[in-house]
Structure 1
Amino acid sequence: MKVALETLDTRYSLPQPGLDPRWLQDALAQVIRQVDVMLPRFTTTFPAASATEGRYPAVEKVDWTEGFWTGMLWLAWEVTGDNKYRAVAEGLLDSFEERLDRRIKVDTHDLGFLYSLSCVNAWKLTGNTRARNLALRAAELLYQRFNATAGVIQAWGDLSDPARQGRMIIDCNLNVPLLFWAADETGNQAWREAATRHLAQAARYLVRDDASTFHTFYMDIHSGKPLRGDTHQGFSDSSCWARGQAWGIYGFALSFTHTGDTTQPELSRRLAHYFLNRLPEDFVCYWDLIFTPDDKAWRDTSAAAIAVCGLAELLKQLPLTDPLRPAYGNAITLIMQNLHQHYFADPQDGLLREGVYNFGRNMGINEPNLWGDYFYFEALVRLSRVWTPYFC
Structure 2
Amino acid sequence: MTITLEKLDTRYSIQQVEMSKAWLNEAISEVLVKIDAMLPRFMSTFPAASAKGDIYPAVEKVDWTEGFWTGMLWLAWEVTGEKKYRDVAESLLDSFEERLDKNIKVDTHDLGFLYLLSCVNAWQLTGNVRARGLALRAAELLYQRFNTTAGVIQAWGDLKDPARQGRMIIDCNLNVPLLFWAADETGNTHYREAATRHLTQAARYLVREDASTFHTYYMDIHTGQPLRGDTHQGFSNSSCWARGQAWGIYGFALSFNHTGDASQPELSRRLSHYFLNRLPDDYVCYWDLIFTKQDNAYRDTSAAAIAACGLAELLKVLPLTDPMRPAYNNAIALMMHNLRAHYFAHQQDGLLREGVYNFGRNMGINEPNLWGDYFYFEALVRLSRIWTPYFC
Amino acid at match of 1:61: K
Q: Which moved more, 1:323-332 or 1:1-10?
A: 1-10
Show the counterpart of 2:237.
Answer: 237
Show the counterpart of 2:26.
Answer: 26
Q: What is the alpha-carbon distance in structure 2 between the residues aligned to residue 369 and residue 135 of structure 1? A: 24
Structure 1 position 15, deviation (Å): 2.2
Q: What is the alpha-carbon distance in structure 2 between the residues aligned to residue 10 and residue 203 of structure 1? A: 27
Show the counterpart of 1:381.
Answer: 381
Q: What is the alpha-carbon distance in structure 2 between the residues aligned to residue 17 and residue 209 of structure 1? A: 33
List aligned pairs for 1:317-332, cutoff 5 A: 317-332=317-332
Structure 1 position 136, deviation (Å): 0.1
Q: What is the alpha-carbon distance in structure 2 between the residues aligned to residue 194 and residue 318 of structure 1? A: 25
Q: What is the alpha-carbon distance in structure 1 between the residues aligned to residue 162 and residue 107 of structure 2? A: 15
Structure 1 position 347, deviation (Å): 3.6
The Cα offsets for residues 174-232 of structure 1, whole Å up to 9 and x where unpaired, read as 00000000000000000000000000000000000000000000000000000000000
Counterpart of 2:228 in 1: which secondary structure?
strand
List aligned pairs for 1:198-237, cutoff 5 A: 198-237=198-237
Counterpart of 1:356 in 2: which secondary structure?
strand
Per the alignment, do residues 269 and 315 of structure 1 end up closer, same or farther by CA in structure 2, a change over 3 Å counting? same
Amino acid at match of 1:46: F
Structure 1 position 16, deviation (Å): 3.3
Q: What is the alpha-carbon distance in structure 1 between the residues aligned to residue 194 and residue 287 of structure 2? A: 31
Amino acid at match of 2:299: R
Q: Is 2:47 aligned against 1:47? A: yes
Show the counterpart of 1:270.
Answer: 270
Show the counterpart of 1:168.
Answer: 168
Q: What is the alpha-carbon distance in structure 2 between the residues aligned to residue 176 and residue 347 of structure 1? A: 36
Which 5+ residue runs of structure 1 have no aligned equivalent? none
Show the counterpart of 1:308.
Answer: 308
Structure 1 position 18, deviation (Å): 2.0
Q: What is the alpha-carbon distance in structure 2 between the residues aligned to residue 207 and residue 113 of structure 1? A: 22
Q: What is the alpha-carbon distance in structure 2 between the residues aligned to residue 254 and residue 170 of structure 1? A: 14
Counterpart of 2:361 in 1: which secondary structure?
coil
Amino acid at match of 1:88: V
Q: Normalising by structure 1, what TM-score?
A: 1.00
The Cα offsets for residues 70-98 of structure 1, whole Å up to 9 and x where unpaired, read as 00000000011001000000000000000
List aligned pairs for 1:330-369, cutoff 5 A: 330-369=330-369
Q: What is the alpha-carbon distance in structure 2 between the residues aligned to residue 39 and residue 344 of structure 1? A: 18
Show the counterpart of 2:295.
Answer: 295
The answer (yes or no) to whether the contact 1:350–1:368 under 8 Å persists in 2 is: yes
Q: What is the alpha-carbon distance in structure 1 between the residues aligned to residue 223 and residue 352 of structure 2? A: 44
The answer (yes or no) to whether the contact 2:239–2:289 under 8 Å persists in 1 is: yes
The answer (yes or no) to whether the contact 2:64–2:110 under 8 Å persists in 1 is: yes
The answer (yes or no) to whether the contact 1:34–1:347 under 8 Å persists in 2 is: no
Runs of 4+ in 1 over 6 A off after TM superposition: none
Q: Normalising by structure 2, what TM-score?
A: 1.00
Quote the RMSD (CA, aligned, Å).
Answer: 0.6
Structure 1 position 317, deviation (Å): 0.6
Show the counterpart of 1:112.
Answer: 112
Q: What is the alpha-carbon distance in structure 2 between the residues aligned to residue 231 and residue 58 of structure 1? A: 29
Counterpart of 1:217 in 2: which secondary structure?
strand
Structure 1 position 158, deviation (Å): 0.1
Structure 1 position 346, deviation (Å): 1.9
Which 5+ residue runs of structure 2 have no aligned equivalent? none
Counterpart of 1:379 in 2: which secondary structure?
helix
Q: What is the alpha-carbon distance in structure 2 between the residues aligned to residue 131 and residue 383 of structure 1? A: 27
The Cα offsets for residues 237-272 of structure 1, whole Å up to 9 and x where unpaired, read as 000000000000000000000111000000000000
Show the counterpart of 2:190.
Answer: 190
Amino acid at match of 1:74: W
Q: What is the alpha-carbon distance in structure 2 between the residues aligned to residue 75 and residue 20 of structure 1? A: 20
Counterpart of 1:360 in 2: which secondary structure?
helix
Q: What is the alpha-carbon distance in structure 2 between the residues aligned to residue 230 and residue 339 of structure 1? A: 30
Amino acid at match of 2:288: D
Q: What is the alpha-carbon distance in structure 1 between the residues aligned to residue 240 and residue 81 of structure 2? A: 40
Q: What is the alpha-carbon distance in structure 1 between the residues aligned to residue 17 and residue 220 of structure 2? A: 50
Structure 1 position 52, deviation (Å): 0.4
Q: What is the alpha-carbon distance in structure 1 between the residues aligned to residue 53 and residue 269 of structure 2? A: 36
Q: What is the alpha-carbon distance in structure 2 between the residues aligned to residue 119 and residue 347 of structure 1? A: 31
List aligned pairs for 1:73-92, cutoff 5 A: 73-92=73-92
Amino acid at match of 2:221: I
The answer (yes or no) to whether the contact 1:37–1:348 under 8 Å persists in 2 is: no
Percent identity among equivalent residues? 82
- Residue correspondences, number: 392
The answer (yes or no) to whether the contact 2:17–2:334 under 8 Å persists in 1 is: no
Q: What is the alpha-carbon distance in structure 2 between the residues aligned to residue 322 and residue 230 of structure 1? A: 35
The answer (yes or no) to whether the contact 1:62–1:105 under 8 Å persists in 2 is: yes
Q: What is the alpha-carbon distance in structure 2 between the residues aligned to residue 352 and residue 379 of structure 1? A: 13
Q: What is the alpha-carbon distance in structure 2 between the residues aligned to residue 347 and residue 139 of structure 1? A: 38
Amino acid at match of 1:141: L
The Cα offsets for residues 278-308 of structure 1, whole Å up to 9 and x where unpaired, read as 0000000000000000000000000000000
The answer (yes or no) to whether the contact 2:230–2:237 under 8 Å persists in 1 is: yes
Structure 1 position 349, deviation (Å): 1.1
Q: What is the alpha-carbon distance in structure 2 between the residues aligned to residue 20 and residue 98 of structure 1? A: 43
Structure 1 position 17, deviation (Å): 4.4
